[in-house]
Homo-oligomer: A and B are copies of this chain.
């Protein structure tokens, strides 16, 4: 997620995206059912969601809860244990209102509507304090997580590094000789983790010629032109990416970087990503449901954006990281790895390319495939386009999961308002708690 293009449009973007906001006569966005998407047997032609349109609005409103019905997928088994209970400590945050830096006062309820939320959940000290579903989503619905996937690919790689099986300072070619002549050959694994690889690649979602769309063909997004002779699987694709500039200089958000990490995990572990994720994390978590990954044309997981999970299982993932890797009675991710994930990022390489008032205000930085914010609680988050978050606030002991189907890949609503509102919620819960104890 988070290219620069749409973030730069600033307040104009806000008014365009959340139509009616400026006039005050707000109507919440239509649900997939209200839009008539996939209603009827068969649905009318213009209401069908299929492989040609599922990434675009309004079709993504249906698609992001129905990825299995659109693309090949691979199960991540939850194992056979009982789900970890999520104890209830219900509070109504609907009218909790946050003064934004933009000058607006925005209630949680209105923000969830404006940002096209499908599911939203807040854990405080591991208890479920607030949970809302929209747009037909239920506690059993799987939702596409897009780039929030990356954070867990990164975590898996850090687990292998912790075991001494991957040296983060080694160049990628040591693990993947196939990538010797690509941009990645002489990049260190750490540079790939931090997305500071010098690679010729554009991820401007609004540009139809951007490289991200060629990456898309590999995963069945859109239709490759008839004369397309390029790669249709991720391994062949990664080999084609060329170096540009120096590694380690500046943050450059490149989704295929994470597919390189996924490939290293597979190569070193001898397992596919679903097997590794299930064996090491998912089957120990007490997840309620199997997860699944979106696959390319050659049945390889999209390590950079293919994870699909339910809202509550997202909360369990976040809570496990918050608890330093210990959850459901076992140390799932080593404490050292979880502590590292929870560290603040370095704003210096991050801001070298991304000089944007909105970015600076939120204080975004990135390391090890996790986003960090320069707020007082040093929160970190997994973030995906169209409004996916697993937000972890270690100071307030809060985990917030948001699954959405925003029409825009990036939006003021999700990427700018979102971190401010989540921080305010976390802060408020922490303060109530300290008042109660004080």
Contacts of A48 in B (CB 8 A): 233, 298-299
The answer to whether A66 has its CB under 8 Å from any CB of chain B is yes
Take A72-B71, A74-B68 as given contacts and tell me if A272 and B50 are in contact as well, using a CB distance cutoff of 8 Å: no
The answer to whether A51 has its CB under 8 Å from any CB of chain B is yes
CA of A32 to CA of B70 in the docked complex: distance in angstroms? 26
Say yes or no: B42 contacts A235, CB within 8 Å.
Answer: yes
CB distance from A274 to the nearest CB of B (A): 9
Say yes or no: A295 contacts B51, CB within 8 Å.
Answer: no
Say yes or no: B73 contacts A299, CB within 8 Å.
Answer: no
Number of interface residues of A (CB under 8 A): 30
The answer to whether A41 has its CB under 8 Å from any CB of chain B is yes
One of A119-127, A263-271, A395-403 at the interface: A263-271
The 8 A CB mask of A295-311 against B (1 = contact, 0 = none) is 10111100000000000
The residue of chain B having its C-beta at the shortest distance from the C-beta of A80 within the complex is: B140
The answer to whether A431 has its CB under 8 Å from any CB of chain B is no
Say yes or no: B72 contacts A41, CB within 8 Å.
Answer: no
Chain A residues 59 to 75 lying within 8 A of chain B, measured CB to CB, are 66, 68-75
Take A50-B233, A226-B226, A233-B50 as given contacts and tell me if A299 and B38 are in contact as well, using a CB distance cutoff of 8 Å: yes
The 8 A CB mask of A158-176 against B (1 = contact, 0 = none) is 0000000000000000000
The residue of chain B having its C-beta at the shortest distance from the C-beta of A48 within the complex is: B298
The answer to whether A49 has its CB under 8 Å from any CB of chain B is yes
Take A235-B42, A267-B41, A272-B41 as given contacts and tell me if A299 and B50 are in contact as well, using a CB distance cutoff of 8 Å: yes
Count this chain's copies in the assembly.
Answer: 2
Contacts of A272 in B (CB 8 A): 41
The residue of chain B having its C-beta at the shortest distance from the C-beta of A264 within the complex is: B41
CB distance from A166 to the nearest CB of B (A): 14
Contacts of A233 in B (CB 8 A): 42, 48, 50
CB distance from A108 to the nearest CB of B (A): 31
CA of A299 to CA of B38 in the docked complex: distance in angstroms? 9
Take A41-B267, A266-B41, A272-B41 as given contacts and tell me if A299 and B235 are in contact as well, using a CB distance cutoff of 8 Å: no
Say yes or no: A72 contacts B74, CB within 8 Å.
Answer: no
CA of A415 to CA of B68 in the docked complex: distance in angstroms? 33
CB distance from A265 to the nearest CB of B (A): 9
Say yes or no: B75 contacts A299, CB within 8 Å.
Answer: no
Take A297-B51, A299-B38, A299-B49 as given contacts and tell me if A72 and B69 are in contact as well, using a CB distance cutoff of 8 Å: yes
Take A50-B233, A297-B51 as given contacts and tell me if A41 and B263 are in contact as well, using a CB distance cutoff of 8 Å: yes
CA of A73 to CA of B294 in the docked complex: distance in angstroms? 12
Contacts of A298 in B (CB 8 A): 42, 48, 50
Contacts of A300 in B (CB 8 A): 42
CA of A121 to CA of B295 in the docked complex: distance in angstroms? 32
Say yes or no: A69 contacts B263, CB within 8 Å.
Answer: no
Say yes or no: A72 contacts B70, CB within 8 Å.
Answer: yes
Say yes or no: A299 contacts B69, CB within 8 Å.
Answer: yes
Contacts of A263 in B (CB 8 A): 41-42
Q: Which are the 6 A-B pairs with shortest beta-carbon distances?
A: A41-B266, A42-B235, A69-B299, A226-B226, A69-B74, A50-B298
Known: A42-B263, A51-B72. 15 other contacts (CB 8 A): A41-B263, A41-B270, A42-B233, A42-B298, A42-B300, A48-B233, A48-B299, A50-B297, A51-B297, A66-B299, A68-B68, A68-B74, A68-B75, A69-B299, A226-B226
22 CB contacts below 8 A, A to B, read A38-B299, A41-B266, A41-B272, A42-B233, A42-B235, A42-B263, A42-B300, A48-B233, A48-B298, A48-B299, A50-B232, A50-B299, A51-B297, A66-B299, A68-B68, A68-B72, A68-B75, A69-B73, A69-B299, A70-B72, A71-B72, A73-B73
